């Protein structure tokens, strides 16, 4: 297991270099630069040129990238061009709401998907199964922003049960914090639940045809016991894969949900930074999102080993 983790960590280095270099190149190929944005009202071209020189934006791209890498190796992500704040501070402050939202969304999706997925598989080709399929199609097709607005209208404006927008930290104000995250978590969780439901249904169906299930039934175990002890664990591998891949997306890619609910998350930070052409900030956030993806995949691999000993021994 230790070797697996080490090998996977070693493999992340080239991935990170590729990702950051790619983003760096794309960002600089995009028209517009941070000085134009900061000085939209200023008129003097020489003022802008001086500032560009001072910030090192006039140097060749590979020099700028090497300088950024050099600082990174010393543990320095640099400072935002727009407001001078250290990138690491901006990102770490945003990470908390994003993580909380991601975990809550995942919880929402599991609470829905595990029973629905199981039920659909066990009651295959019945109206229950078809209802589950309808739910899944609805969840996958429903655009995030529309679902968010509908939820806000219904639970925030009409019933007034939950706040319309904004973020309160659940770790600081438990109840109010949870209330502020419920609607965004449901928005994200519903789509994820749809995917997980379908994945779980098919993997349970597959497991149900295995020999060990027939053996278990032959032993006289109750159907519930068969599913809980034998089917579910074996059917979880694809589900863990899906969730692992989605965790990274939930942390860094919940931009629309963050915008609609005015949540101060990582997704919004990176999009605003792109619009402002705040290069160091974009680079820093992208790097951390990439690290997040890699780590969540690593966790998935470790979980595989735990769920399925055959993978561990390989």
Is 272 an interacting residue with respect to another protein (CB under 8 A)? yes
Is 189 an interacting residue with respect to another protein (CB under 8 A)? no
Distance CA 227, CA 128 (A): 18
Residue choice 260, 286, 287, 294 for contact with another protein (CB under 8 A):
260
Is 186 an interacting residue with respect to another protein (CB under 8 A)? no
Kindly state the tokens that stand for 92: 């770490």
Stretch that binds another protein, among 5-13, 158-166, 205-213, 283-291 (CB under 8 A): 158-166
Q: Which is nearer to another protein, 30 or 107 (CB)?
A: 30
Distance CA 58, CA 51 (A): 10
Is 149 an interacting residue with respect to another protein (CB under 8 A)? yes
The contacts of residue 36 (CB under 8 Å, 6+ apart) are 48, 277
Distance CA 258, CA 268 (A): 6
Q: Is 206 exposed, middle or buried (0-12, 13-18, 19+ CB in 10 A)?
A: middle
Interface with another protein: number of residues (CB under 8 A): 48
Q: What is the DSSP letter of 296?
A: H
To the nearest 10 degrees (0 to 180), the angle between helices 87-122 and 174-208 is 40
Q: Which string of x and - marks every residue 10-39 that binds another protein (by CB under 8 A)?
A: --------------------xxxx--xxxx
Residue choice 3, 44, 224, 314 for contact with another protein (CB under 8 A):
44
Kindly state the tokens that stand for 279: 């290069």
Give the helix ranges, DSSP H, for 123-173: 127-141, 144-151
Q: Which string of x and - marks every residue 48-77 that binds another protein (by CB under 8 A)?
A: --xx--x-----------------------
Kindly state the tokens that stand for 164: 């319309």
SS3 (DSSP) at 79: strand
Q: Which is nearer to another protein, 41 or 211 (CB)?
A: 41
Kindly state the tokens that stand for 305: 């080993």
Q: Which is nearer to another protein, 188 or 195 (CB)?
A: 188
Q: Which is nearer to another protein, 49 or 223 (CB)?
A: 49
94, 286, 90, 97: which is closest to 185 by C-alpha? 97
Residue choice 78, 177, 238, 264 for contact with another protein (CB under 8 A):
264
Nearest approach, Cβ of residue 164 and another protein (Å): 5
Residue choice 24, 68, 135, 167 for contact with another protein (CB under 8 A):
167
Footprint of another protein on this chain (CB under 8 A)?
A: 30-33, 36-47, 50-51, 54, 82-85, 90, 93-94, 149, 152-153, 156-157, 160, 163-167, 259-262, 264, 268-269, 272, 275-277
């Amino acid at each position: 297991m230790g070797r697996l983790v080490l090998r996977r960590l070693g493999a992340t280095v080239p991935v990170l270099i590729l990702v950051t270099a790619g983003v760096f190149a794309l960002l600089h190929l995009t028209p517009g630069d941070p000085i134009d944005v900061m000085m939209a009202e200023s008129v003097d071209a020489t003022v802008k040129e001086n500032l560009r020189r001072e910030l090192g934006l006039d140097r060749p791209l590979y020099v700028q990238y090497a300088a950024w890498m050099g600082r990174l190796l010393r543990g320095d992500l640099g400072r935002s061009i727009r407001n001078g704040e250290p990138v690491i501070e901006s990102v770490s402050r945003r990470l908390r709401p994003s993580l909380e939202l991601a975990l809550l969304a995942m919880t929402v999706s599991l609470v829905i998907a595990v029973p629905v997925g199981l039920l659909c598989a066990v009651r295959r080709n019945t109206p229950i199964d078809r209802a589950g399929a309808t739910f899944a199609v609805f969840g996958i097709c429903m655009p995030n922003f529309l679902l968010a607005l509908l939820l806000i209208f219904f639970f925030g404006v009409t019933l007034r049960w939950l706040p319309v927008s904004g973020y309160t930290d659940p770790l600081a104000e438990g109840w109010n914090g949870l209330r502020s995250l419920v609607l965004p978590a449901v928005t994200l969780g519903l789509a994820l639940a749809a995917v997980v439901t379908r994945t779980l249904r098919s993997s349970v169906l597959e497991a149900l045809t295995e020999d060990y299930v027939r053996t278990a039934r032959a032993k006289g175990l109750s159907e519930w016991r068969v599913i809980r002890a034998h089917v579910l664990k074996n059917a979880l591998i694809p589900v863990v894969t899906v969730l692992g891949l989605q965790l990274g997306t939930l942390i860094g890619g919940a931009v629309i949900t963050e915008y609609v609910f005015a949540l101060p998350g990582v997704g919004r930070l990176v999009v605003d930074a792109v619009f402002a052409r705040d290069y160091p900030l974009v680079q820093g956030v992208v790097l951390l999102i990439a690290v997040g993806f890699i780590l969540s995949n690593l966790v998935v691999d470790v979980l595989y080993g735990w769920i399925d000993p055959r993978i561990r021994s390989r």
